[in-house]
Structure 1
Amino acid sequence: MTDLVVALGLVLAVEGLLFAAFPEGVKRAMIAAAETPSERMRIVGLVSAIVGVGIVWLIRGG
């Protein structure tokens, strides 16, 4: 459970840095995401989740 909280903290830190460093770029990215078809977003989300789980599995020793 500690690892999950640390991972969430890291996500918040990275997102915070992106919002602070590139606010206009983040706004453009959000607009582009809002205009992207739901099916494409779903596929990208699933692929990202699979890759993320794969990375954790490899690092943690499977």
Structure 2
Amino acid sequence: MNDLLAGLGLAIVLEGLLWAISPDLGRRIVRDMASLPERQLAMVAWTMVVLGMGLVWLARG
């Protein structure tokens, strides 16, 4: 449970850094993602899920 909370906390920190450092970039990314076709957006999301799981697997080895 502690690992889950630590992982969620790290994800929130990293997400917040984008908006804190460059709010304009964050807006552009959201705008660009909103214009993607649903299938392409889903593929990007699944790619991120797989990459994230791979990183967790490597870290927890």
Where on the TM-score scale, by shorter chain, does this alignment land: which range?
0.7 to 0.9
Give the CA deviation at 1:31: 0.5
Instruction: Report the TM-score, using the length of structure 1 for normalisation.
Output: 0.87
Match of 1:42 in 2: 42
Q: Percent identity?
A: 38
Instruction: Report the TM-score, using the length of structure 2 for normalisation.
Output: 0.88
How many correspondences in the alignment?
Answer: 61
Give the CA deviation at 1:4: 0.9
Query: Residue type of the partner of 2:5?
Result: V
Give the CA deviation at 1:38: 0.8
Runs of 4+ residues deviating >3 angstroms: none
Query: Alignment RMSD, CA only?
Result: 1.0
Give the CA deviation at 1:34: 0.5
Matched residues in 2 for 1:23 and 1:11: separation? 17
Matching of residues 15-54 of structure 1 within 5 Å: 15-54=15-54
Ranges in structure 1 where 5+ consecutive residues have no aligned partner: none
Query: Residue type of the partner of 2:35?
Result: E
Ranges in structure 2 where 5+ consecutive residues have no aligned partner: none
